[in-house]
């Protein structure tokens, strides 16, 4: 990633984004595929033309001055994450909440000094990893009582600090992005085996702070399963859990930092479980007449004890939109892998289960087929969202989890609520990202004509309808994308009041001045 420039408004890197020429080429064909008419192609407002609020505070002096910046691009690119809401505002050059300064500490001493300065200066601190939040987690939308906001960029904390090859664990700096984590471990023939869709940009610290989910569908699905110990710096001091394979000694310190979203402190490093790179893999793309039949097969697979590494089911429409199908069948990407033994028999058993539920498949041809098409579309999807924005099309996703007994009705009511909120034409698709013996994690994609100039209000209407339906149907407001500021109303409903009080008490203990990412998780 060295030398590459991040997009100032959209996803990823400028050299990987769809060009204006590609947008013109896609203008008639892509909307036709989606069943939605495209509007005229729109260009983003240049970053240099966007007006930012003037900084409210001066940067700290002394040694800290060298790691702080109030430069226009730095402040603007740290103002938002990468949600649809963020992308629309960046695309149109609208910046209401902007950090007053951006700091890149090079070590923990720098983190400690910055927190001390922020408390004294009454400045809110927003920890910033890869900036891939899709829930308002890094936006400095803070209470008026603060005199300013600091975006604390942890990208310099990206080294391999310790390696325990006997226990298969490594301590890595929290600022290491996915490719950096794999580079560091790959030099020793190891992998963390954690690949979220945001892999190229998101960081180890961000994964832990948001309880992120990786690519794999069963067993070790969340970063929770891979964390052995976490170290953080809080305004009240250090927080580090003991390295243990497991413990029954009361509530776990690292479990509390998992999902803390920067509200309790700044995660600086973590011990994570690693393994040799898997050498044995086998997969198939399995077709089902309907998404409902596929869901029954996935439930049987999740309860079989086979633990497939990939068990992703996409409905008929999403299979069509990603080029993995023709719209007449739902598609299950079923895969197995192992570090030390062949998995062909596991795949064969999984396919037998699929056949019992009406599944059919073709033998591999060597070109990747439907599996390859789905994988490529999965990686490019965030870039496609930005292209659709330029064509006047709203494209967004949200995810949840629900028990199997509730899923059929849940799927109907949630997708129905979204369609009603957006009106026609509108396309709502569903896939399973992760599956458990007791329920799936449905991931819903929404595509509709955007109300140009009014996209933000349109998005809020859709989000309100989706969030209300999810909670009413017994689901969770987030499965692996965190709470942030955007999910707070439904998170407050989902959690018990007594737990909310306990969380406020924990925050008051480690962050008495309340400077750590205010507005996230608790007030």
Is the model's pLDDT at 395 over the cut of 60?
yes
Whole-structure pTM value = 0.94
Nearest-CA neighbor of 255 among 218, 233, 215, 228?
A: 228
What's the rounded mean pLDDT across residues 25-42? 74
Note the pLDDT of residue 120. 97
How far is the CA of 447 from the CAs of 89, 317, 319, 388, 478, in angstroms? 18, 11, 14, 9, 20
State the Cα–Cα distance between residues 199 and 411, nearest whole angstrom.
28
Q: Where is average pLDDT lowest: 17-26, 131-140, 266-275?
A: 17-26
State the Cα–Cα distance between residues 423 and 417, nearest whole angstrom.
10
Q: Where is average pLDDT lowest: 19-23, 68-72, 404-408, 428-432?
A: 19-23
Task: Quote the distance between the C-alpha of residue 435 and its chain's center.
Answer: 17
Q: Where is average pLDDT lowest: 216-220, 355-359, 368-372, 417-421?
A: 368-372
What's the rounded mean pLDDT across residues 432-441? 96
Is the model's pLDDT at 153 over the cut of 80?
yes
Note the pLDDT of residue 366. 61
Nearest-CA neighbor of 227 among 196, 202, 205?
A: 205
Is the model's pLDDT at 32 over the cut of 80?
no
224-249 pLDDT per residue, tens: 999 999 999 999 999 999 999 999 99
Note the pLDDT of residue 145. 97
Asked if residues 283 and 336 have their Cβ atoms less than 8 Å apart, the reply is yes
What's the rounded mean pLDDT across residues 335-354? 96
Q: Which residue has the tokens 């087929």?
A: 369
Bridge partners, 275 (sequence order)? 191
State the Cα–Cα distance between residues 86 and 92, nearest whole angstrom.
10
SS3 content of the chain, % helix, strand, coil (to 5): 35, 20, 45
Is the model's pLDDT at 23 over the cut of 70?
yes
Summary mean pLDDT of the chain: 93
Note the pLDDT of residue 382. 85
Is the model's pLDDT at 159 over the cut of 90?
yes
What SS3 class is residue 50? coil
Is the model's pLDDT at 370 over the cut of 70?
no
- Regarding predicted confidence, which is higher, 396 or 33? 396
Structure tokens at 83: 């949600």
Is the model's pLDDT at 367 over the cut of 60?
no
What's the rounded mean pLDDT across residues 10-16? 91
State the Cα–Cα distance between residues 500 and 494, nearest whole angstrom.
10
Note the pLDDT of residue 354. 98
Residue 305 — very low, low, confident or very high, per pLDDT cuts 50/70/90? very high
State the Cα–Cα distance between residues 238 and 268, nearest whole angstrom.
10
Q: Which residue has the tokens 């969770």?
A: 476
Domains in the chain, ordered, with CATH?
A: 280-472 (3.40.462.40)
Is the model's pLDDT at 314 over the cut of 80?
yes
CA–CA–CA angle 370, 374, 380 (5° rounding):
145
**Cβ burial, residue 283 (10 Å; 0-12/13-18/19+):** buried
Report the half-sphere exposure of 180 (CA within 13 A, side-chain side): 21
Structure tokens at 51: 């007006």
Residue 360 — very low, low, confident or very high, per pLDDT cuts 50/70/90? very high
CA–CA–CA angle 416, 137, 502 (5° rounding):
95
114-146 pLDDT per residue, tens: 999 999 999 999 999 999 999 999 999 999 999
What's the rounded mean pLDDT across residues 2-18? 87
Nearest-CA neighbor of 430 among 270, 313, 258?
A: 313
Q: 159: how many CB neighbours lie within 10 A of its CB?
A: 13
Task: Name all contacts of 161-168 with Cβ < 8 Å and 24+ positions apart.
Answer: 161/269, 162/271, 163/188, 165/190, 167/245, 168/273, 168/274, 168/275
456-470 pLDDT per residue, tens: 999 999 999 999 999
**Cβ burial, residue 184 (10 Å; 0-12/13-18/19+):** buried
Report the half-sphere exposure of 113 (CA within 13 A, side-chain side): 18
Is the model's pLDDT at 448 over the cut of 90?
yes
Note the pLDDT of residue 73. 96
480-507 pLDDT per residue, tens: 999 999 999 999 999 999 999 999 999 9
Is the model's pLDDT at 391 over the cut of 80?
yes
CB contact set of 415 (below 8 Å; sequence gap of 6+): 428, 430, 444
Structure tokens at 456: 């933000």
Note the pLDDT of residue 374. 56
Is the model's pLDDT at 267 over the cut of 80?
yes
Output the CA torsion sign for 447, 449, 452, 458: negative
State the Cα–Cα distance between residues 54 and 189, nearest whole angstrom.
49
DSSP codes joined into one string, 131-175: S--SSSSSS----TTSSEEEEEE-TT--SEEEEETTTTEEEEETT
Note the pLDDT of residue 371. 58
35-78 pLDDT per residue, tens: 777 778 899 999 999 999 999 999 999 999 999 999 999 999 99
């Amino acid at each position: 990633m060295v030398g590459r420039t991040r997009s100032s408004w959209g996803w990823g890197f400028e050299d990987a984004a769809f060009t204006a020429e590609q947008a013109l080429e896609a203008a008639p064909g892509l909307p036709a595929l989606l069943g939605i008419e495209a509007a005229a192609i729109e260009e983003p407002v240049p970053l240099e033309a966007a007006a930012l609020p003037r900084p409210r505070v001066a940067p700290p002096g002394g040694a800290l001055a060298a790691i702080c910046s109030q430069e226009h691009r730095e402040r603007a690119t740290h103002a938002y994450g990468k949600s649809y809401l963020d992308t629309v505002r960046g695309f149109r050059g609208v910046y209401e909440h902007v950090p007053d300064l951006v700091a890149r500490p090079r070590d923990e001493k720098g983190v400690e000094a910055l927190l001390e300065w922020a408390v004294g200066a009454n400045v809110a601190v927003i920890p910033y990893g890869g900036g891939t939040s899709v829930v308002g987690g890094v936006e400095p939308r803070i209470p008026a009582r603060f005199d300013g906001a600091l975006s604390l960029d942890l990208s310099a904390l990206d080294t391999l600090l310790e390696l325990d090859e006997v226990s298969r664990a490594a301590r890595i700096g929290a600022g290491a992005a996915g490719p950096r984590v794999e580079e560091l471990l790959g030099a020793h023939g190891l992998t963390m085996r954690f690949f979220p869709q945001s892999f190229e940009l998101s960081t180890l610290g961000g994964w832990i702070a948001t309880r992120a989910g990786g690519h794999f569908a069963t067993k070790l699905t969340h970063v929770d399963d891979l964390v052995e110990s976490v170290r953080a710096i809080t305004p009240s001091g250090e927080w580090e859990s003991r390295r243990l394979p497991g413990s029954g000694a009361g509530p776990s310190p690292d479990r509390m930092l998992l999902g803390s979203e920067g509200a309790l402190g700044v995660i600086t490093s973590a011990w994570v479980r690693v393994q040799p790179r898997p050498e044995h893999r086998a997969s198939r793309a399995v077709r089902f007449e309907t998404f409902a039949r596929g869901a029954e097969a996935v439930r049987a697979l999740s309860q079989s004890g086979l633990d497939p590494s990939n068990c992703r089911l996409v409905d008929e429409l999403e299979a069509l939109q990603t080029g993995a199908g023709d719209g007449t069948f739902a598609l299950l990407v079923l895969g197995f892998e192992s570090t030390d033994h062949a998995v062909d028999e596991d795949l064969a058993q999984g396919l037998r289960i699929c056949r019992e539920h009406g599944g059919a498949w073709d033998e591999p041809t060597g070109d990747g087929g439907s599996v390859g098409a789905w994988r490529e579309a999965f990686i490019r999807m965030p870039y496609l969202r930005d292209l659709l924005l330029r064509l006047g099309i709203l494209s967004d996703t949200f995810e949840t989890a629900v028990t199997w007994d509730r899923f059929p009705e849940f799927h109907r009511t949630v997708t129905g609520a979204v369609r009603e909120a957006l009106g026609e034409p509108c396309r709502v698709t569903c896939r399973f990202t992760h599956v458990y013996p007791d329920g799936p994690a449905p991931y819903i994609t929404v595509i509709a004509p955007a109300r140009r100039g009014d996209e933000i209000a349109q998005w809020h209407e859709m989000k309100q309808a989706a969030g209300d339906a999810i909670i009413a149907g017994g689901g969770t407001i987030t499965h692996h994308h965190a709470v942030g500021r955007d999910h707070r109303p439904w998170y407050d409903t989902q959690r018990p009041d007594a737990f909310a009080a306990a969380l406020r008490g924990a925050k008051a203990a480690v962050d008495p001045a309340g400077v750590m990412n205010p507005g996230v998780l608790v007030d």
